Amino acid sequence: MGFLDKLFKKTTKEEEVMTEKLNIGIILGSTRDGRVSPQVGEWVKSIADKRGDANYEIVDIAEYKLPLLGEGEAPGAAAWNEKLASLDGFVFIVQEYNHSITGALKNALDYAREAWNNKSAGIVSYGSTGGARAAEHLRGIMGELMIADVRTHPTLSLFTDFENFSTFKPQDMHLDNVNLMLDQVNAWGKALKTIR
Protein backbone atom coordinates (compact mmCIF):
# COMPACT_ATOMS: atom_id res chain seq x y z
CA MET A 1 0.00 0.00 0.00
CA GLY A 2 1.36 3.42 -0.98
CA PHE A 3 1.90 6.50 1.19
CA LEU A 4 -1.19 8.32 -0.09
CA ASP A 5 -3.41 5.27 0.42
CA LYS A 6 -2.20 5.09 4.04
CA LEU A 7 -2.68 8.84 4.52
CA PHE A 8 -6.29 8.66 3.32
CA LYS A 9 -6.85 5.46 5.30
CA LYS A 10 -7.61 3.36 2.23
CA THR A 11 -8.05 -0.21 3.40
CA THR A 12 -6.63 -3.33 1.80
CA LYS A 13 -8.82 -6.36 1.01
CA GLU A 14 -7.22 -8.18 3.95
CA GLU A 15 -8.05 -5.30 6.32
CA GLU A 16 -11.64 -5.23 5.09
CA VAL A 17 -11.95 -8.97 5.62
CA MET A 18 -10.50 -8.73 9.13
CA THR A 19 -13.09 -6.16 10.22
CA GLU A 20 -16.21 -7.54 8.48
CA LYS A 21 -18.48 -9.80 10.49
CA LEU A 22 -18.50 -13.38 9.26
CA ASN A 23 -21.66 -15.32 8.45
CA ILE A 24 -21.66 -18.51 10.49
CA GLY A 25 -24.23 -21.26 9.90
CA ILE A 26 -25.28 -23.49 12.78
CA ILE A 27 -26.12 -26.66 10.88
CA LEU A 28 -28.62 -29.10 12.40
CA GLY A 29 -27.35 -32.58 11.57
CA SER A 30 -30.50 -34.59 12.26
CA THR A 31 -33.81 -34.52 10.40
CA ARG A 32 -35.96 -37.21 12.08
CA ASP A 33 -39.37 -36.48 13.63
CA GLY A 34 -38.85 -35.81 17.33
CA ARG A 35 -35.19 -34.84 16.94
CA VAL A 36 -33.56 -32.79 19.69
CA SER A 37 -31.08 -30.96 17.43
CA PRO A 38 -33.23 -27.77 17.17
CA GLN A 39 -32.98 -27.33 20.96
CA VAL A 40 -29.21 -27.72 20.87
CA GLY A 41 -28.86 -25.42 17.85
CA GLU A 42 -30.97 -22.68 19.47
CA TRP A 43 -28.86 -22.92 22.63
CA VAL A 44 -25.63 -22.51 20.65
CA LYS A 45 -27.18 -19.59 18.74
CA SER A 46 -28.28 -17.86 21.97
CA ILE A 47 -24.69 -18.04 23.28
CA ALA A 48 -23.29 -16.94 19.92
CA ASP A 49 -25.66 -14.00 19.47
CA LYS A 50 -24.58 -12.52 22.83
CA ARG A 51 -21.03 -12.19 21.46
CA GLY A 52 -21.97 -9.81 18.63
CA ASP A 53 -18.87 -10.84 16.67
CA ALA A 54 -20.55 -12.56 13.70
CA ASN A 55 -23.91 -13.12 12.04
CA TYR A 56 -25.12 -16.48 13.28
CA GLU A 57 -28.03 -18.37 11.75
CA ILE A 58 -29.60 -21.80 12.12
CA VAL A 59 -29.36 -23.86 8.94
CA ASP A 60 -31.78 -26.79 8.92
CA ILE A 61 -30.94 -29.54 6.44
CA ALA A 62 -34.55 -30.80 6.69
CA GLU A 63 -35.85 -27.64 4.98
CA TYR A 64 -33.95 -28.46 1.77
CA LYS A 65 -35.60 -31.88 1.35
CA LEU A 66 -32.53 -33.44 -0.23
CA PRO A 67 -33.14 -36.98 -1.56
CA LEU A 68 -30.24 -39.43 -1.42
CA LEU A 69 -27.63 -38.02 -3.80
CA GLY A 70 -28.26 -39.18 -7.37
CA GLU A 71 -31.72 -40.58 -6.66
CA GLY A 72 -34.09 -38.38 -8.63
CA GLU A 73 -34.78 -34.67 -8.81
CA ALA A 74 -33.34 -32.50 -6.03
CA PRO A 75 -35.00 -29.09 -6.33
CA GLY A 76 -33.47 -28.05 -3.00
CA ALA A 77 -29.88 -28.72 -4.09
CA ALA A 78 -29.34 -25.29 -5.65
CA ALA A 79 -30.74 -23.49 -2.60
CA TRP A 80 -28.58 -25.67 -0.34
CA ASN A 81 -25.45 -24.73 -2.28
CA GLU A 82 -26.44 -21.05 -2.29
CA LYS A 83 -26.93 -21.09 1.46
CA LEU A 84 -23.55 -22.73 2.04
CA ALA A 85 -21.89 -20.30 -0.39
CA SER A 86 -23.23 -17.38 1.68
CA LEU A 87 -21.52 -18.70 4.82
CA ASP A 88 -17.92 -18.20 5.97
CA GLY A 89 -17.94 -20.86 8.65
CA PHE A 90 -20.04 -23.55 10.27
CA VAL A 91 -20.96 -25.00 13.62
CA PHE A 92 -22.15 -28.55 13.12
CA ILE A 93 -24.71 -29.83 15.61
CA VAL A 94 -23.78 -33.50 15.52
CA GLN A 95 -25.69 -36.42 17.00
CA GLU A 96 -24.35 -39.94 17.17
CA TYR A 97 -26.14 -42.61 15.13
CA ASN A 98 -24.45 -46.03 15.21
CA HIS A 99 -21.12 -44.47 16.15
CA SER A 100 -21.19 -42.02 13.25
CA ILE A 101 -23.00 -38.97 11.90
CA THR A 102 -26.54 -39.22 10.55
CA GLY A 103 -27.18 -40.33 6.98
CA ALA A 104 -28.93 -36.99 6.46
CA LEU A 105 -25.82 -35.01 7.38
CA LYS A 106 -23.52 -37.17 5.24
CA ASN A 107 -25.90 -36.79 2.30
CA ALA A 108 -26.05 -33.00 2.77
CA LEU A 109 -22.25 -32.85 2.95
CA ASP A 110 -22.05 -34.80 -0.33
CA TYR A 111 -24.41 -32.38 -2.06
CA ALA A 112 -21.82 -29.56 -2.20
CA ARG A 113 -18.11 -29.20 -2.81
CA GLU A 114 -16.71 -25.73 -3.52
CA ALA A 115 -19.27 -24.17 -1.18
CA TRP A 116 -17.57 -26.00 1.72
CA ASN A 117 -13.96 -25.33 0.69
CA ASN A 118 -11.59 -23.06 2.67
CA LYS A 119 -13.98 -22.32 5.51
CA SER A 120 -13.78 -23.04 9.23
CA ALA A 121 -15.97 -25.25 11.38
CA GLY A 122 -16.62 -26.24 14.95
CA ILE A 123 -18.57 -29.21 16.27
CA VAL A 124 -21.07 -29.43 19.13
CA SER A 125 -22.01 -33.08 19.55
CA TYR A 126 -24.20 -35.21 21.77
CA GLY A 127 -24.78 -38.86 22.52
CA SER A 128 -24.20 -41.42 25.24
CA THR A 129 -20.47 -40.61 25.13
CA GLY A 130 -20.91 -36.99 24.06
CA GLY A 131 -21.20 -37.91 20.39
CA ALA A 132 -17.41 -38.13 20.27
CA ARG A 133 -17.27 -41.01 17.78
CA ALA A 134 -19.59 -39.26 15.34
CA ALA A 135 -17.62 -36.04 15.67
CA GLU A 136 -14.34 -37.79 14.86
CA HIS A 137 -15.90 -39.30 11.72
CA LEU A 138 -17.03 -35.82 10.68
CA ARG A 139 -13.48 -34.51 11.08
CA GLY A 140 -12.26 -37.05 8.50
CA ILE A 141 -14.95 -35.96 6.04
CA MET A 142 -14.12 -32.30 6.61
CA GLY A 143 -10.52 -32.96 5.60
CA GLU A 144 -11.68 -34.06 2.16
CA LEU A 145 -14.01 -31.06 1.85
CA MET A 146 -11.19 -28.65 2.82
CA ILE A 147 -13.05 -27.43 5.88
CA ALA A 148 -10.71 -26.40 8.69
CA ASP A 149 -12.15 -27.95 11.86
CA VAL A 150 -11.14 -26.27 15.09
CA ARG A 151 -9.83 -28.07 18.15
CA THR A 152 -12.33 -27.11 20.85
CA HIS A 153 -15.34 -29.38 20.76
CA PRO A 154 -18.16 -29.17 23.33
CA THR A 155 -19.53 -32.67 24.00
CA LEU A 156 -22.99 -33.02 25.52
CA SER A 157 -24.19 -36.12 27.34
CA LEU A 158 -27.60 -37.67 26.75
CA PHE A 159 -27.51 -38.66 30.45
CA THR A 160 -26.54 -35.40 32.13
CA ASP A 161 -27.44 -32.64 29.64
CA PHE A 162 -30.93 -33.90 28.76
CA GLU A 163 -33.97 -34.91 30.80
CA ASN A 164 -35.52 -38.16 29.62
CA PHE A 165 -33.15 -38.00 26.65
CA SER A 166 -35.47 -35.45 25.10
CA THR A 167 -35.54 -32.12 26.97
CA PHE A 168 -32.28 -30.26 26.68
CA LYS A 169 -30.96 -28.97 30.03
CA PRO A 170 -27.27 -28.26 29.44
CA GLN A 171 -24.87 -28.00 32.34
CA ASP A 172 -23.25 -24.58 32.82
CA MET A 173 -19.78 -26.04 32.42
CA HIS A 174 -20.25 -26.20 28.61
CA LEU A 175 -20.56 -22.43 28.22
CA ASP A 176 -16.83 -21.65 28.22
CA ASN A 177 -16.15 -24.41 25.71
CA VAL A 178 -18.83 -23.15 23.31
CA ASN A 179 -17.34 -19.65 23.44
CA LEU A 180 -13.81 -20.94 22.96
CA MET A 181 -14.95 -23.00 19.96
CA LEU A 182 -16.63 -19.89 18.48
CA ASP A 183 -13.44 -17.84 19.05
CA GLN A 184 -11.55 -20.41 16.98
CA VAL A 185 -14.19 -20.67 14.22
CA ASN A 186 -14.14 -16.88 13.82
CA ALA A 187 -10.34 -16.61 13.83
CA TRP A 188 -9.83 -19.32 11.23
CA GLY A 189 -12.88 -18.21 9.27
CA LYS A 190 -11.38 -14.73 8.88
CA ALA A 191 -8.00 -16.11 7.91
CA LEU A 192 -9.48 -18.42 5.29
CA LYS A 193 -11.67 -15.69 3.80
CA THR A 194 -8.48 -14.00 2.60
CA ILE A 195 -7.63 -16.95 0.31
CA ARG A 196 -11.06 -17.50 -1.24
Ligand X SMILES: Cc1cc2nc3c(=O)[nH]c(=O)nc-3n(C[C@H](O)[C@H](O)[C@H](O)COP(=O)(O)O)c2cc1C
Please report, as ranges, the residues that interact with ligand X according to CB under 6 A.
Answer: 30, 32, 35-37, 95-99, 127-129
Closest CB to ligand X among 95 and 120? 95
- The CB-of-63 to ligand X minimum distance in angstroms stands at 15
User: Do 69 and 110 touch, CB atoms closer than 8 A?
Assistant: yes
CA-to-CA distance for 56 and 45, rounded, in angstroms? 7
Rounded to a whole number of angstroms, the minimum distance from the CB of residue 111 to ligand X is: 19
CA distance 142 to 127: 20
Question: Could you tell me the smallest distance in angstroms from the CB atom of residue 41 to ligand X?
Answer: 9
Closest CB to ligand X among residues 89, 130: 130
Q: Which is nearer to ligand X, 28 or 181 (CB)?
A: 28
Identity of the residue, 117 or 171, whose beta carbon is nearer to ligand X in the bound complex:
171
User: How far apart are alpha carbons 89 and 121 in whole angstroms?
Assistant: 6
**147-149 vs 155-157, strand pairing mode:** unpaired
For the bound state, the minimum distance from the C-beta of residue 36 to ligand X, rounded and expressed in Å, comes to 4
How far is Cα 30 from Cα 96, in angstroms, rounded to an integer?
Answer: 10
Q: How far apart are CA 151 and CA 162, in angstroms?
A: 24
Q: In the complex with ligand X, which residue's Cβ is closer, 98 or 167?
A: 98
> Smallest distance, Å, CB 34 to ligand X?
7
d(CA 65, CA 39): 20
- The DSSP string of 77-128 is HHHHHHHHHT-SEEEEEEE-BTTB--HHHHHHHHT-STTTTTEEEEEEEEET
**Closest residue to ligand X using C-beta atoms:** 127
